Amino acid sequence: MIQENVITWFLACRTTDVPENGGVCVKYHDEQIALFNFSRRGEWYATQNMCPHRMQMALSRGMIGAQNNEPKVACPFHKKTFSLTTGKCLSGDDCGDLKTYPVKVENDLVYIGIEE
């Protein structure tokens, strides 16, 4: 039998708390999670807030966009870009990948899923 990972959903914020096509940082115990409201695509994403390039807590303040239709975020420090779906670094150098989290929206409330 396949062991299914249990996902715990925690309430992050209201949808209106996140700027359209932008991000915010969410605190979950000692973890910092970057939450993005890609309103142009009607999609939500969450990744770790720390940019692996120089270990800066900055991705929630990064600019989001797309590259060949792949949604991505650019770190404000040195513009390294990362896929929002897979977390892979898209800048062609191996500065490391991001951890991603599932997101769901119910009744204008945003929940982030944590694998226990």
Partner 1 sequence: MKIVVIGNGMVGYKFCEKLTAKAQSGQFEIVVFGEETRPAYDRVHLSEYFAGKTAEDLTMAGLDWYADRNIKLYLGDPISYIDREQKTVRSHHGITESYDYLVLATGSAAFVPPIPGVEKEGVFIYRTIEDLELMTAYAKKAKTGAVIGGGLLGLEAAKAMIDLGVTNTHVIEFAPRLMPRQIDEAGSNILKAKLEALGLSIHTSKNTSEILGDQFINGMQFSDDTRLDVDMLVISAGIKPRDELAKLAGLETGHRGGIVVNDKLATGDPFIFAIGECALHGGMIYGLVAPGYEMAEVVAANLMGGDKSFTGFDMSTKLKLIGVDVASFGDPFVSHTEGRTIVLEDSMKGVYKRINISTDGKYLLGGVLVGDADAYNMLLQTTKNKVVLPPNPEDVILGARGGSGSEGGAGITSLPDDALICSCESVSKGDICKAVCDGNETMDAIKKCTKAGTGCGGCVPMVKDLINHTLKSQGKYVRNVICEHFNYSRQELYDLVKVHKLMTFDEVLNKLGTGDGCELCKPPVASILASLWNEMILAKGNDTAQDSNDRFLANIQKGGTYSVVPRIPGGEITPEKLIVIGEVAKKYNLYTKITGGQRIDLFGAHVSDLPAIWSELIAAGFESGHAYGKALRTVKSCVGSTWCRFGLHDSVSFAIQIEERYRGLRAPHKLKSAVSGCIRECAEAQSKDFGIIATEKGWNLYVCGNGGSKPQHALLLATDLDSETCIKFIDRFLMFYIKTADPLTRTATWLNKMEGGIDYLRNVVVNDSLGIAEQLEAEMQLLVDNYKCEWKEAVENPEIRKRFSHFVNAPEEKDPSITFEPMREQKKAKEWK
Using CB under 8 A, list all residues that contact partner 1: 12-13, 17-22, 24-27, 32, 35, 38, 40-41, 50, 54-58, 61-69, 71-72, 74, 76-77, 79, 81
Q: Which amino acid is at 97?
A: D
CB nearer to partner 1: pick between 19 and 115: 19
Q: How far apart (Å, rounded) are the C-alpha atoms in residues 48 and 69?
A: 22
Binding status of residue 75 toward ligand FES by CB under 6 A: yes
Which residues make beta-bridge pairs with 31?
28
Q: Tokens 């500065």 correspond to what residue?
A: 95
Q: Determine the straight-line distance between the first and last CA of the chain, rounded to whole angstroms.
A: 19
20 binds, among partner 1, ligand FES, none (CB under 5 to 8 A by kind): partner 1
